[in-house]
């Protein structure tokens, strides 16, 4: 069944099979993002686009930890790292 034919609840249940329970996934990810944000700030970095791209790479890492067989997480993670690299090369405040 495709997403367009599913209710929101059915989509959430489908995603939990792939990525784990939403609360656990997002709590883990948010803790990692907070640590990264603090580390980023300590380094004096102010490029938020760079930080947010790194945060998205972390989401793919968390999802891969739950289910390492989903290849898209690795592709997406690599692409977010590339976006972070590109963002790091743009002048920022």
Residues of the domain holding 40? 7-88
Per-residue pLDDT reduced to its tens digit, 39-68? 999 999 999 999 999 999 999 999 999 999
The pTM (predicted TM-score) of the whole model is 0.87
- 60, part of any domain: yes
Long-range CB pairs of 35-41 (<8 Å, 24+ gap) are none
Structure tokens at 75: 């592709």
* 36 found inside a domain: yes
d(CA 87, CA 61) in angstroms, rounded, equals: 20
pLDDT digits (tens, 9 = 90+) for 14-35: 999 999 999 999 999 999 999 9
Q: Name the domain count of the chain.
A: 1
Is 2 within the bounds of a domain?
A: no
């Amino acid at each position: 069944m495709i997403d367009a034919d599913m209710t929101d609840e059915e989509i959430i249940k489908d995603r939990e099979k792939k990525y784990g329970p939403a609360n656990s996934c997002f709590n883990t990810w948010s803790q990692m993002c907070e640590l990264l944000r603090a580390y980023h700030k300590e380094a004096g970095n102010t490029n938020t686009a760079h930080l947010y791209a790194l945060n998205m790479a972390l989401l793919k890492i968390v999802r891969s930890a739950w289910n390492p067989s989903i290849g898209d997480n690795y592709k997406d993670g690599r692409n977010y790292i590339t976006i972070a690299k590109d963002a790091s090369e743009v002048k920022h405040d």
